Every structure is written in structure tokens, then in C-alpha cells.
């Protein structure tokens, strides 16, 4: 039996699309060196990358000097990833994100939420009035729980995954 362990990765990440794949690959490689569940490692790296993509896409980068912030921490049977980015507290993107996360909580499982979102997107007009799969896909494919919190002008989105 392996002795218990914990880990933490805590770093600022430049707001640059090229960094998403660098971070995703780095997390995958670190986790693959520690955990036996390679599928779980891929899923966790995907969640981290997708949360970084959302932060870059929907963050308020106009007047902010604040970088993205990535924090990964956990123990041998669970892990969290948290991405922080500047946000305009009154933005439509922030409101949509909070509504999407609240909607995910109304389903019995992430799979049920993802199926419902797939049906909604498939039935929607192509005018962009229905949000994309984003967070529902992350929760389902990553087998994780997502939560978000806003403090002043910083959004923190955290996922929790068990192995």
C-alpha cells in the first residue's frame, strides 16, 4: 500500500492561448507520473485546460494587470483545480456562467445535465441564443463538481474530482 500524500501546484499563468496546451500537457504529465488511472489523469488535465480557456475567453482583460491564476491541489484519492481571472461583476458572461452552474446543480448527475444540454443545443435555433455545452461537458467528461465564487473583480471557478 502506498503511503498517503498530498500535492499543490500554485502559479500565475500569462493570459495567452498558447499557454493552455502547455499547462494541460504539464498537468497530464505530472499526474501520469503519480497516479495509475491514466484516463482520470487525462480527464483532470482536460478540466484544467477547459477552465483556463473559459477564463481567457470570458475574463475581463481590458484594464487588468492581474494574470490568470491556476491552483491544483489534492491527495491520492481526490484533486481540485481552481482558475481565477479578473471579471466585470456586472458582465453578461459572468451571469451566464453562474446560471449555468446553478442549473447543473438541479440535475441528479453530471451525465443527466449534459444530456439535457445536448438536447437543448440540438433543438435550438442557430442564432446563438442558447449557450453552448461548456460547463456541462466539463462536469460530465471530467466526472467532477464545479463551483464558482466572485470576490470583488475576481472569479474563481473550482472543480473537485475523485479518483
Counting the structural domains of the chain, the total is 1
Per residue in 50-83, pLDDT (tens digit) is 999 999 999 999 876 788 999 999 998 899 999 9
Q: Is 115 helix (H, G, I), strand (E, B) or coil?
A: helix
Q: Is 107 helix (H, G, I), strand (E, B) or coil?
A: coil
State how far the alpha carbon of 100 is from the alpha carbons of 45, 53, 76, 105, 120, in Å: 22, 16, 30, 9, 13
Q: Are 54 and 46 in contact (CB under 8 A)?
A: no
Residue among 90, 97, 87, 98 at smallest CA distance from 153 = 87
Look up the domain containing 20 and give its range: 6-162
* Any domain includes 101: yes
Tens digit of pLDDT at every position of the chain (163 positions): 667 899 999 999 999 999 999 999 999 999 999 888 899 999 999 999 999 999 999 999 987 678 899 999 999 889 999 999 999 989 999 999 999 999 999 999 999 999 999 998 888 887 765 667 889 999 999 999 999 999 989 999 999 998 7
* Any domain includes 49: yes
* Any domain includes 147: yes
**H helix intervals, 12-81:** 17-34, 38-58
Q: Is 161 helix (H, G, I), strand (E, B) or coil?
A: strand
Q: At what angle do helices 92-104 and 110-123 cross, to 10 degrees?
A: 130
Q: Is 132 helix (H, G, I), strand (E, B) or coil?
A: coil
* Any domain includes 18: yes
State how far the alpha carbon of 66 is from the alpha carbons of 15, 39, 86, 97, 108, in Å: 9, 33, 7, 20, 37
Indicate the average pLDDT of the chain: 92
Q: Output the domain CATH number for residue 128.
A: 3.30.565.10
Q: Which DSSP helix (H) or strand (E) runs through 16?
A: none
* Any domain includes 1: no
Amino acid at each position: 500500500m502506498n503511503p498517503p500524500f498530498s500535492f499543490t501546484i500554485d502559479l500565475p499563468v500569462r493570459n495567452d492561448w498558447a499557454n493552455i496546451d502547455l499547462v494541460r500537457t504539464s498537468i497530464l504529465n505530472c499526474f501520469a507520473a503519480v497516479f495509475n488511472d491514466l484516463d482520470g489523469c487525462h480527464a483532470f488535465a482536460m478540466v484544467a485546460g477547459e477552465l483556463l480557456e473559459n477564463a481567457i475567453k470570458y475574463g475581463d482583460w481590458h484594464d487588468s494587470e492581474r494574470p490568470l491564476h491556476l491552483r491544483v491541489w489534492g491527495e491520492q484519492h481526490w484533486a481540485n483545480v481552481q482558475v481565477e481571472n479578473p471579471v466585470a461583476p456586472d458582465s453578461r458572461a459572468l451571469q451566464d456562467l453562474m446560471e449555468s452552474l446553478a442549473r447543473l446543480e438541479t440535475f441528479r448527475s453530471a451525465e443527466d445535465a449534459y444530456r439535457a444540454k445536448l438536447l437543448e443545443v440540438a433543438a435550438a435555433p442557430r442564432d446563438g441564443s442558447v449557450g453552448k455545452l461548456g460547463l456541462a461537458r466539463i462536469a460530465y467528461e471530467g466526472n467532477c463538481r464545479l463551483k464558482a465564487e466572485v470576490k470583488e473583480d475576481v472569479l474563481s471557478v473550482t472543480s473537485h474530482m475523485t479518483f
